[in-house]
Amino acid sequence: MKSPEKSTEKTPTTNEPFAFSAANLETYKELLTRYDDVESALLPVLHLAQEQTGWLAENVITYISNLMSIPEIKIKEVISFYDMFYDVPVGRNIVQVCTNISCSMFGGREIYQGLLKHFDTGYLTPTRDGRISLQKMECLGACELAPCMRVNDDFVAITDLTSAIHKLEELP
Amino acid sequence: MTEPIKTEVAKTEAAKADLVNLKWNGVDIQAEKGSNLLKAALDNGIEVAHYCYHAGLSIAGVCRMCMVEQDGNPRAFPSCNATCGEGMVIRNDTPKIKAAVEATLQFHLLNHPLDCPVCDQAGECGLQDYYMKHGVYDSQMIDKKVHKPKVQDIGKNVMLDAERCILCSRCARFTEEVTHTHELGILNRGDHAEITVNEELKNDYAQNLVDICPVGALTSKDFRFKQRVWFLKDVHTTCIGCETGCSVKVSQNKNGAYRVKPVYDHDVNGHWMCDDGRNIYKHVSSPTRLSSASENINGLFVPVDELSIQSKVKGLKPKYILSTGLTVEEYAQFFSSLKGSKVEVGLYTLPNLGADFDGILKRGDKNANLRGAKAAFAAAGFDSTQEGLDKILNSLSSNDVVYVVIPEILYNEDHFNTLIKKTEKAGMKLALTPGETLSTLRTFNYLLPVPSFLEKNGNIINHQGLSRPLRAGLNYGETSKDISYYGKWVNV
Amino acid sequence: MILKTDLYRSHGFLKGLYLGLKITMMTMLRNLFKHDRMTLNYPEEKYFYSDRFKGKHVLTVKEDGTLRCTSCMLCSTYCPAQCIHIVAAEDSDVEVEKAPVSFEIEMLRCVFCGFCEEACPVDAIRLTNEYEMSGHAEQEWVADHYELAFRKSLNNGKGIVSTVDDKDRLKLRL
Amino acid sequence: MKNTANNKDYALLSYHHIPGVHNIDIFERAGGYETMKECFNKEPEAIKEEVKLSGLRGRGGAGFATGVKWGFFTKDRNAKKYLLCNADESEPGTFKDRYLVEKNPHILIEGMIISAWALATQKGYIYIRGEFYQQAMILERAIKEAYAKGYLGKNILGKGFDFDLYVHRGAGAYICGEETGMISSLEGKKGQPKLKPPFPAIKGYRGLPTMVNNVESLAAIPWIMRHGAAAYKQWGTEKSPGTKLFSISGDVNKPGVIEVPLSTSLKDIIEIHCGGMRNGNKLKAVIPGGSSAPIFNAEDSYIVKMDYEDVAAKGSMLGSGAIIVLDETRNMGDVLKWTLEFYHHESCGQCTPCREGTGWLESVFKRREKGQAHKSDIDLLDKTASSMRGQTICALADAAAMPTQGMIKVFREELETYVSASTKK
């Protein structure tokens, strides 16, 4: 669920139609063979689409809806339900900071607020150069690295705000 | 096209499965084995609070109001997800359950906006009804309520207010199971969950959403702010929109009729009705409806005394063209009023419109009482076919007077206009209009008011051959006489 | 001042007459010179009833001058004389959503019982202590919402602002 | 006392000391997949019997005996059915499955193959949470190796038994850790739990019988089958036998995952296996089984034995075995605030008591920030929590209510001072 700061006005829909790249189409076909029905492949397909375009806009939804003949409202429901599917434009790198019990004990929340102030951005809104989107997440399952942060797909051990900012400087 | 899923209609009466008897709050009730426990309680008139359960939809089990306790089962469980078994002892009046329902209702009302003064559902709202019985009268909720988008027009005459929604998912299940159009869904997670429509509503049964929504989240745009429901009285009658003949109730008071809602009818329409049927009340109390006999003076209709019309018509040979929207009793009375005099009577049947069956309820054949009419014509020995009508129309001459009963609901005006053009040759033309005075009636000499479907008691025969009653509500057109009154003019 | 009957009997006719006249003369002189007499010279001197008095209705307004009434019809439902007729319609401001297009009270039918005041959930209608409602027979006796809310006597045409608002109600509770 | 953690002949981490054991050849050289081959000669019923005898209890959180759960499964071998591995692991404080799968994915795959053989499921999915991307890739590679070796796919080891295994990534929702929530998510819908009855063993994924087990439960199957149920019972007590992975975090010198026999005392775990309290602070409280387990104060923590019965006796639950240690510098009000914020964020929104209740519980702490909370709000918390329990489809409402009531029972004064601390009088 997006946290309350999620803007409620209609997200800007890029109008040119979306389509899977050739490679993604292959993986899509292979994905279908894994399941006994088409709907079960929805989550992996949405992951695939998000890796290709960064975030899931209206045109992505209509494309997947026609491709898998799933009603659009069902896809919108799924996208808005899960934290890792984004229906708002996000930066190139997704930085998830854990603010749950073990990490908050070691300053996870202060680090998250500090990063927001440092990059002067809000929940999930990309920084001006479109490089980073910060996301406040619940327990990321790496409590021994508390306070823990995830950058794109890997865990990053940080000790405090300065080490976190240092780690994010190197990102492309 | 998928097998028409008429809810419970096509289902032949299953052999009476063996009945089981169970105790509910100490009262013995009987129910079919394996049937829904909550349905059994409601059928036996036991009051069980419920929001998400609806007999015509699947079980969601999310509102958690119908919790019951069973001897030997420590945990309370929702009765809508349980089936009837032999000798079950169920209680929903124990203090534990009462407290649970009270707390759950407070949870329902927690983020519910204080909209009762401006909400159309007030008076028949599920929250209001249960609040009186199960309410926590001193709520401790002093925080800011969660806000969601209010006043949204989602098309097809339905307004959505996501803040009032208690997320019982009845509407989402309706668009998924009954109309298979998947237009409504619940976005987001937790208490930011919100009912939304995908672009807009497109199906023909959208206004059923307004009926099944237990709160004021989905309200009808046509009825918006028109009247408070406690000022209205319901008249149970039948829809004359097409040959299905759904059982409906029309809410009306002395100022007029305001809305039409379906009534559960096991054999014909189940719980639903189509959107076209929702407008059948409009002509009954509309200001442009003919209220007294009137004469056509170069295009303007001026009220005139009936007797003067009778004198004008004397001596001409009368011919009648009846519509298919009349009741069986009216046909019988009309034919008996002719008392066997040699006169030609034709039947104007409306043309077939759109698909002959849309898979749920709507049918293309718009003649409400076609079978009743054909039977009455045959009994009285008149020709009810199209050729018979054409024969009468072609043989019209200047010394004939033709009475045309205008169909109450005209979906296809130009087909009717061809009929009117054909009657030009007659010497004197009289129109018996139950509905509004249409512009095309200018060619008629006289207009005579006749009662609309909401002002007469009688029966019509629907497509299955079942007779469905029409009941008169508050009659406003006191002056209008029924068809047989004009039938007597034959021997004047 | 109760005449003592035994006094009158014991002192004979003349004394009784004298006592009666004395009381009348004293009252007359006092009224002439001390001005505490009961009568009011209406219309120069008017009697002001307390707020409890149930007189002519007023439709209160919000700070921005619009009617507070949401046309929820509770007053017309509760009115024993059924003399309140309201027509509701969509309001331009989505926050308000519903407002009365016309609010009429048939002043001749109204029994001034104050039930509408009790029924109103948002303190939109009150009975003021105004009692001057006389008029000619052919006069239009149905008070529309303009007269009920913005007549001269109400804060000379600007209407009476009622304070019950969501913000205030929440503030009160906290 | 000898450091009994991570002993080589324990059930789960016995291969963890071998470098590169995620590669199938090294895993086989160390004795991997032998048990699987032996089991294929055994009768499936015998395997089920052995697991039942071992008394292995579900390691996901409820602690329901795996053998009994397998007993509910349909016996009809050629009916279409599924075996799901619950690797969602979103319970705050829990990271044991990640630690297990990261280093040694094959033990899970071997466990699933043996279970599939016993239960005759044709297809299996490992539902792993979306955030564990690298772990999903590790599992994906391990499964490819297993397919290459012929341990998966059609006609495994020539026994005419085929079993396909795939990895399915979730997308960040704690509710998908709940059995039926995961099934809804696997069906491509919102991960909202389904009504029970019918239970998944009878009507689960796509309406077919589905067996859902936790990673740790499935990973223990190979050891049990190799050494027999009796050997497994040598650890732990009669009712909670075997070893358990504990993920310890918070104020300890060496947070991490340890494998110790059940009913090891919490005192030993903290002092011996985790190197004692961080910079020597005094222990104040311990959350024994993840965020949904009510909290222990210092006295209980020292005497409790970490097994299902003793922890339950002390009023909490072993849950997923995630121990969060809190020293005296920690403030219990903060801990409860974070827990309730977690449950408010993660409630799936289906049932009204949980959807609105979790929001309301957390609103008391939001009011505290604005300085408008009062001491009486603690009673409101308690009353709301108790009216949420047992009213919903899944146990998230209970998981939100129990820690609240537990915290109020143990640290009531501290909560009251915390809540009314910043109220501007």
Q: Can you name the CATH fold of B294-491?
A: Rossmann fold (3.40.50)
Report for B137-151, B477-491, C24-38: range of highest mean pLDDT: B137-151
CATH classification of B111-225, choosing from 3.90.950.20, 3.30.70.20, 3.40.50.720, 3.40.50.740?
Answer: 3.30.70.20
Name the domain boundary from D180, D212, D233: D233
How far apart are the C-alpha atoms of D339 and D405, rounded to whole Å? 12
Supply the pLDDT for residue B417. 86
When pLDDT is cut at 50, 70 and 90, the band that residue A13 belongs to is: low
Q: What is the largest CA-CA distance in chain B?
A: 87
Q: For chain D, say whether B136 makes contact (Cβ under 8 Å).
A: no
**Which run of H or E residues covers position B348?**
strand B344-348
Give the CA count within 13 Å in the CB-facing half-sphere of D195: 15
Contacts of B among chains (3+ CB pairs under 8 A): A, C, D
Supply the pLDDT for residue B429. 87
Would you say residue D133 lies in a domain? Answer: yes
Q: Are strands B294-297 and B446-449 parallel, antiparallel or unpaired?
A: antiparallel
Q: How far apart are the first and last CA of chain D?
A: 55
Is pLDDT above 50 for A10?
Answer: no
Which sign, positive or negative, has the C-alpha torsion D397, D402, D403, D408? positive
When pLDDT is cut at 50, 70 and 90, the band that residue B5 belongs to is: very low
Is B461 within 8 Å of B372 (Cβ atoms)? yes
Least confident segment among B93-97, B403-407, D284-288: B403-407
Is pLDDT above 70 for A41?
Answer: yes
The separation between CA D269 and the C-alpha centre of its own chain, rounded to angstroms, equals 19
Mean pLDDT of D255-284: 90
Cβ <8 Å between B188 and A71: no
Supply the pLDDT for residue D120. 92
Backbone φ/ψ region at A124: left (φ over 0), alpha (ψ -120 to 50), beta: left
CB-count exposure of residue C112 (10 Å: 0-12, 13-18, 19+): middle
Supply D241's token pair: 């036998």
How far apart are the C-alpha atoms of B445 and B442, rounded to whole Å? 8
Name which residue leads in pLDDT, C169 or A117.
A117
Supply the pLDDT for residue B9. 41
When pLDDT is cut at 50, 70 and 90, the band that residue A89 belongs to is: very high
Instruction: List the one residue out of A87, B107, B174 whose CA is nearest residue B185.
Output: B174
SS3 at position C40: coil
Query: Are D139 and D268 contained in the same domain?
Result: no
Local structure of residue C48 (DSSP, 8 states): P
Is pLDDT above 90 for D20?
Answer: no
How far apart are the C-alpha atoms of D87 and D168, rounded to whole Å? 10
- Write out the residue range of the structural domain in which residue A108 sits: 93-169
- Write out the residue range of the structural domain in which residue D129 sits: 13-233
Amino acid symbol at B223 = F
**What number of residues does chain A have?**
172
Query: Are A101 and A81 contained in the same domain?
Result: no
Supply the pLDDT for residue C51. 82
Measure in Å the smallest separation between the Cα of B115 and chain A Cα atoms. Answer: 22
How far apart are the C-alpha atoms of B77 and A86, rounded to whole Å? 37
Measure in Å the smallest separation between the Cα of D189 and chain A Cα atoms. Answer: 6
Residue the block writes with tokens 């003064």: B117
Query: Are A82 and A116 contained in the same domain?
Result: no
Query: Are A115 and A55 contained in the same domain?
Result: no
Is pLDDT above 80 for D425?
Answer: no
Quick one: closest CA in D to B58, which residue? Answer: D195
Amino acid symbol at B303 = P
Is D361 within 8 Å of D349 (Cβ atoms)? no
Contacts of D241 (CB under 8 A, 6+ apart): D54, D55, D56, D232, D233, D235, D262
Do chains C and B meet with 3 or more Cβ pairs nearer than 8 Å? yes
Q: What are B300-337's pLDDT values in tens digits? A: 888 888 788 888 887 788 888 888 888 998 888 888 88
Supply the pLDDT for residue D420. 84
Beta bridge partner(s), residue D305? D265
Is pLDDT above 80 for D244?
Answer: yes
Q: What are B57-78's pLDDT values in tens digits? A: 999 999 999 999 999 888 899 9
Q: What are D343-396's pLDDT values in tens digits? A: 999 999 999 999 999 999 999 999 888 888 888 899 999 999 999 999 999 999
Mean per-residue pLDDT of chain C? 85
Q: What DSSP line would sit under B423-438, residue for residue?
A: GGGSSEEEEEESSB--
Q: Can you give the CATH number for the domain in which A63 is found? A: 1.10.10.1590
Supply the pLDDT for residue A2. 39
When pLDDT is cut at 50, 70 and 90, the band that residue C9 belongs to is: low
Q: Can you name the CATH fold of C57-166?
A: Alpha-Beta Plaits (3.30.70)
The separation between CA B490 and the C-alpha centre of its own chain, rounded to angstroms, equals 37
Is pLDDT above 80 for B477?
Answer: no
Measure in Å the smallest separation between the Cα of D171 and chain A Cα atoms. Answer: 5
Supply the pLDDT for residue C81. 94
Instruction: List the one residue out of B115, B190, B111 whose CA is nearest residue B147.
Output: B111
Is pLDDT above 70 for B492?
Answer: no
Q: What are B382-402's pLDDT values in tens digits? A: 888 888 888 888 888 888 888
Mean pLDDT of B428-441: 83
Is C57 within 8 Å of C143 (Cβ atoms)? yes
Is D387 within 8 Å of D353 (Cβ atoms)? yes
Is pLDDT above 60 for B112?
Answer: yes
Supply the pLDDT for residue D4. 56
**What's the Rg (C-alpha) of chain D?**
22
Is pLDDT above 70 for C170?
Answer: no
From chain D, the residues in CB contact with A36 under 8 A are 123, 206
Instruction: List the one residue out of C90, D342, D120, D144 whose CA is nearest residue B190.
Output: D342
Query: Are D83 and D197 contained in the same domain?
Result: yes
Query: Are D288 and D401 contained in the same domain?
Result: no
Q: For chain B, say whether A77 makes contact (Cβ under 8 Å).
A: yes
By percentage, how much of chain D surpasses pLDDT 70?
Answer: 97
Supply the pLDDT for residue C174. 37
How far apart are the C-alpha atoms of D411 and D420, rounded to whole Å? 15
Would you say residue D3 lies in a domain? Answer: no
In chain C, CATH 3.30.70.3270 sits at 57-166
Supply the pLDDT for residue C8. 59
Residues 5-44 of D with CB under 8 A from A: none
Q: For chain B, say whether C74 makes contact (Cβ under 8 Å).
A: yes
How far apart are the C-alpha atoms of B265 and B468, rounded to whole Å? 10
Query: Are D153 and D252 contained in the same domain?
Result: no
Name which residue leads in pLDDT, B491 or A167.
A167
When pLDDT is cut at 50, 70 and 90, the band that residue B449 belongs to is: confident
Contacts of C among chains (3+ CB pairs under 8 A): B
Long-range contacts of A144-147 (CB under 8 A, 24+ apart): A144/D95, A144/D247, A144/D249, A144/D255, A144/D256, A144/D257, A146/A98, A146/A102, A146/A103, A146/A105, A146/A106, A146/A108, A146/D249, A146/D250, A146/D255, A147/A97, A147/A98, A147/A103, A147/A104, A147/A106, A147/A107, A147/A108, A147/A111
Q: Can you give the CATH number for the domain in which D390 is found? A: 1.20.1440.230
Nearest CB to D249; choose among A81, A146, A153: A146
Supply the pLDDT for residue B450. 85
Supply the pLDDT for residue B14. 47
Other CB atoms within a 10 A radius of the CB of residue B26 amount to 9
Query: Are A37 and A119 contained in the same domain?
Result: no
Q: Can you name the CATH fold of B19-93?
A: Ubiquitin-like (UB roll) (3.10.20)
Mean pLDDT of B112-120: 91
Nearest CB to B187; choose among A4, A71, A80: A80
Instruction: List the one residue out of D363, D169, D94, D393 whose CA is nearest residue A82.
Output: D169
Is pLDDT above 70 for B480?
Answer: no
Count the domains in chain D.
Answer: 3
When pLDDT is cut at 50, 70 and 90, the band that residue A146 belongs to is: confident
ipTM for the assembly: 0.89
Would you say residue D266 lies in a domain? Answer: yes
**What number of residues does chain B have?**
492
Supply the pLDDT for residue B334. 86
Query: Are D320 and D251 contained in the same domain?
Result: yes
Q: For chain A, say whether D133 makes contact (Cβ under 8 Å).
A: yes
Cβ <8 Å between B76 and D391: yes
Beta bridge partner(s), residue B158? B220
Query: Are A2 and A77 contained in the same domain?
Result: yes
Supply the pLDDT for residue D423. 60
Is pLDDT above 50 for A6?
Answer: no
Name the domain boundary from A42, A62, A87: A87
Instruction: List the one residue out of B187, B185, A45, A27 whose CA is nearest residue D171.
Output: A45
- Write down the domain spans for chain B: 19-93, 111-225, 294-491
Supply the pLDDT for residue B475. 64
Cβ <8 Å between D387 and B103: yes
How far apart are the C-alpha atoms of A106 and D324, rounded to whole Å? 12
**Which run of H or E residues covers position B300?**
strand B300-303
Residue the block writes with tokens 């039947």: B347
Q: What are C96-128's pLDDT values in tens digits? A: 889 999 999 999 999 999 999 999 988 899 999
Do chains A and D meet with 3 or more Cβ pairs nearer than 8 Å? yes
Is pLDDT above 90 for B12?
Answer: no
Q: What are D109-148's pLDDT values in tens digits? A: 999 999 999 999 999 999 999 999 999 999 999 999 999 9
Mean per-residue pLDDT of chain A? 88
Name which residue leads in pLDDT, A41 or B412.
A41
Give the CA count within 13 Å in the CB-facing half-sphere of B121: 23
Write out chain D in H/E/C secondary structure.
CCCCCCCCCCCCHHHCCCCCCCCHHHHHHCCCCHHHHHHHHCCHHHHHHHHHHHCCECCCCCCCEHHHHHHCCCCCCCCCCEEEEEECCCCCCCCHHHHHHHHCHHHHHHHHHHHHHHHCCCEEEEEECCCCHHHHHHHHHHHHHHHHHCCCEEEECCCCEEEEEEEEECCCCHHHHCHHHHHHHHCCCCCCCCCCCCCCCCCCHHHCCEEEEEHHHHHHHHHHHHHHHHHHHCCECCCCECEEEEEEEECECCCEEEEEECCEEHHHHHHHHCCCEHHHCCEEEEECCCCCCCCEEHHHHHHCEECHHHHHHCCCCCCCCEEEEEECCCCHHHHHHHHHHHHHHHCCCCCHHHHHHHHHHHHHHHHHHCCCCCCCHHHHHHHHHHHHCCCCCCCHHHHHHHHHHHHHHHCHHHHHHHHHHCCCC
Supply D386's token pair: 């108790």
Query: Are D319 and D337 contained in the same domain?
Result: no
Supply the pLDDT for residue B379. 87
Would you say residue D4 lies in a domain? Answer: no
Q: Can you give the CATH number for the domain in which D285 is found? A: 3.10.20.600
By percentage, how much of chain B surpasses pLDDT 90?
Answer: 42
Would you say residue D366 lies in a domain? Answer: yes
